[in-house]
Structure 1
């Protein structure tokens, strides 16, 4: 049965509604960045760029890096934007835009997030790299989907008990990264741990400016969480959404974080551009060396 026009929305030129892309515009490996200005920080290393477009905060460039075709897409900030990006990428891949029916043979993508984050652990300093072995969803977006197959109840229950998690908040969800892609980026430069994904930057991440927050001790309590050696290493706003939707769609996904702040000791990077650029170069090298389409 065809998908209704109100559900799968296409632009007048036949491209998908928000991303402004057609199926031929994306590569099998997609690099996600939050900031639209960061797209060109990645693609400046490419030999060629054969396609580019932008609509709202969603900027895409597709080109060739050392013989490998890659797409770089800016998502903007937050799990709600990830919901748009992942669903529309999958529509490009697995829905026939002419018939508006799901294809019989489904395809998969490699999704690599290159983003910034703040560490919750004193031993993970600013200007370091971290790959997320798990995403901890504390924002609730994934509850809109049937997620029973991708959750990790043991870790989730331990977290709920440890933090005395409020019943007025969405139940936390823990989703694992793709082991295949985690292995690609492992190395002496890379920390690894459980990344918490909040639905906002201030109160949801324990920051206080003028408004009081529901749990002023949340960060320190989260920082002390330990489940069989797995700690909550950092806080950001996209990873769990990427992991959850990718797992549901049958994709491989990994989140790479440039640590630009340390929430445990209150420090911030003196040169955020350098650590981000260094992570981009590291990621591109590993993608070309180890990821096969």
Structure 2
């Protein structure tokens, strides 16, 4: 304490000696398996699918819940929107010994034949978001763990959910970075056409950060998304709550498979 102020180390500050600075939770509050929605509201929404559930942390855009699903401990942590807040959530969760992180969120499809309400399992992500460039050179791939991908495929098929499998793209901008021109001068004009020509299925804002960090840090990660919009058909789904619950059910079903198979090294 100096001049009436209290200080802790700035390199990696820990509140009360044990709590990470942004999630404001400690080791033991979070399970090895964590679902990552963007919206803090979905941390509350998914609670109805758990046998037991408790909110263990809430600070800024980060809300964390931990509970039991089929007798096993699973956590849910919101990341907010974009790569920079996702970076914070992922690194602090890994600091607290999380081992398997699964992004669950909305996405915009860019290919015809993908309907609003469908699920997308991204096997990897085109790294045009920017945040992950602080951790690996641009040529380093942002790929999902193959065990996680397989569990997601099986979960969707067993639940009878229509899904699409392939590469997505992560941007750092919702408007111009995804081809929505609001100023008349758009450096990213043509981004949708470029990604469509490469066979990319969808655009979103978080997966490259998660997948790159997980690979670099030796964790398991994957991405399961529900289609809220299709830019190829210019449709935006307004009432997407039912689709969100479908997404959550499939994600928990996949996590249950991973837990019982023991493929994640804890």
- SS of the aligned residue for 1:44 comes to helix
- Looking at structure 1, the residues matched to 195 and 148 of structure 2 have their Cα atoms a distance apart, in angstroms, of 26
CA RMSD of aligned residues (A): 1.8
- Looking at structure 2, the residues matched to 287 and 86 of structure 1 have their Cα atoms a distance apart, in angstroms, of 17
Deviations 1:31-82 (A, max 9, x none): 0000000101112211112452101110001011111100100110000011
After TM superposition, where is structure 1 displaced by more than 4 Å over at least 4 residues in a row? Answer: none
Deviation of residue 211 (structure 1)?
Answer: 4.4
Contact 2:86–2:206 (CA<8 Å) still a contact in 1? yes
Give the number of equivalent residue pairs: 248
- SS of the aligned residue for 1:23 comes to coil
- SS of the aligned residue for 1:59 comes to strand
Equivalent position of 1:60 in the other structure: 64
Q: Report the TM-score when normalising by structure 1.
A: 0.80
1:214 partnered with 2:187: yes
Equivalent position of 1:165 in the other structure: none
Deviation of residue 85 (structure 1)?
Answer: 1.0
- SS of the aligned residue for 1:281 comes to helix
Deviation of residue 208 (structure 1)?
Answer: 1.4
- Looking at structure 2, the residues matched to 222 and 47 of structure 1 have their Cα atoms a distance apart, in angstroms, of 41
1:140 partnered with 2:113: no
Residue 88 of structure 1: which of 85, 92, 110 is its match?
92
- Looking at structure 2, the residues matched to 50 and 217 of structure 1 have their Cα atoms a distance apart, in angstroms, of 45
Contact 1:25–1:51 (CA<8 Å) still a contact in 2? no
Structure 2 unmatched ranges of 5 or more: 1-7
- Looking at structure 2, the residues matched to 141 and 60 of structure 1 have their Cα atoms a distance apart, in angstroms, of 22
1:178 partnered with 2:182: no
Equivalent position of 2:248 in the other structure: 280
